[in-house]
Amino acid sequence: MKHAGMLFLTGFVALSASWAGFILVPQLQIGRASLGMVTGGSDLYPQPRPGLAAQGAQVYRANGCYHCHSRQVRQEGAAMDVILASAGTNQAQVLSAFKLLDLSLADNPLVGLPRDLLVDVDKSRADFAQKTLEDAGAKAMIRIRATGSDIKRGWGQRGSVARDYLQDQPILLGWQRLGPDLANIGVRQPDPVWHLKHLYAPDKVVERSSMPPYRFLFEKRKIRQTPSPDALVLEGDLAPEPGFEIVPTGEAKALVAYLLSLKTDVPLFEAPFSAPAPAAVPVASATNATPVP
């Protein structure tokens, strides 16, 4: 019994440390966070969810979707690529910079620009290469790529950070992955019809899907004068009998709106990446385009 006080104190300290690490510190991190600017832009991030999407978050929660889906892309590191965008006017000096950087001259490196010169290098190597090329009169850019198994799967372009969840209450991170991560599903799958069909018959949309159908979020009703524009186009054994149609309820539409709002496709200071450049407008299309007021 003479050690009872010491045992109690040890247990108290251990529990207090666990509570601080798992509850207090994350709460302080999120509580002190604020809306921030998108890197390279002027928009605040994250924006509040529209009303229908906010309702859909409650449908997502009520149906326990977070039991099988996470909303947290894990990033294991970052890589940098150096891209030569333009050789400038002094090509001889640029080729000398290539030798200084120990880059291969087996083919003509100044043809077919822009082109990758260095792939998967660290920041110091990328910065040195960019400065050396630009001192020679060329134009070089650095592309930042997030790396990790989740990124490789295509679940996101960067890792999830605390700022991504500032507009969520509660935060539905999920706790296992029986299905894919949904942090960026609004970008990966932007078609609302796809989501509605997936909710109604998951295994018909995704092969070998283990997700149960959520057909109680839909209504089978008799077609009135004209079919509903929201009715699902179903074939085979899923098609309703003649004269009837399958229509999503308000809860189904709200849930899809929430899924479409899940986007982590903007670079942040704490989670940078280089967004793909927008597709170039064909010259003919740009010339013949009708001016937009």
Chain region(s) in the chain for CATH 1.10.760.10: 36-74+155-261
Residue 288, pLDDT score: 32
Q: Which helix (H) or strand (E) holds 218?
A: strand 218-222
Residue 209, pLDDT score: 93
Size (the chain), residues:
293
3-class state of residue 236 by DSSP: helix
CATH number of 77-147: 3.30.1390.10
Q: Is the pTM of this model over 0.85?
A: no
What is the per-residue pLDDT across 234-277, written as a single tens digit (0 to 9) for each?
999 999 999 999 999 999 999 999 999 999 988 888 888 886 65
Residue 282, pLDDT score: 41
Name the band, by pLDDT with cuts 50, 70 and 90, for residue 105: low
Residues with Cβ within 8 Å of residue 136, at least 6 apart in sequence: 88, 90, 93, 94, 96, 97
Residue 217, pLDDT score: 98
What is the per-residue pLDDT across 159-208, written as a single tens digit (0 to 9) for each?
999 889 988 988 899 988 999 999 999 999 999 999 999 999 999 999 99
- CA nearest to 52, candidates 253, 264, 262: 253
- The encoded tokens of residue 178 equal 């029986």
The CA distance from 56 to 88, in Å, is 53
- The encoded tokens of residue 66 equal 């977070």
Identify whether 46 is preceded by a cis peptide bond (ω within 30 of 0). yes
Please state the φ and ψ torsions of residue 180, each to the nearest 5 degrees: -70, 160
* Highest-scoring range by mean pLDDT, 1-5, 101-105, 108-112, 186-190: 186-190
Domain 36-74+155-261: which CATH class? mainly alpha
Q: Is residue 171 exposed (0-12), middle (13-18) or buried (19+ Cβ within 10 Å)?
A: middle
Residue 13, pLDDT score: 74
Residue with tokens 């229509």: 247
Confirm if 178 and 210 have CB atoms less than 8 A apart.
yes
Residue with tokens 């247990």: 11
> In whole numbers, what is the pLDDT of the chain averaged over residues?
84
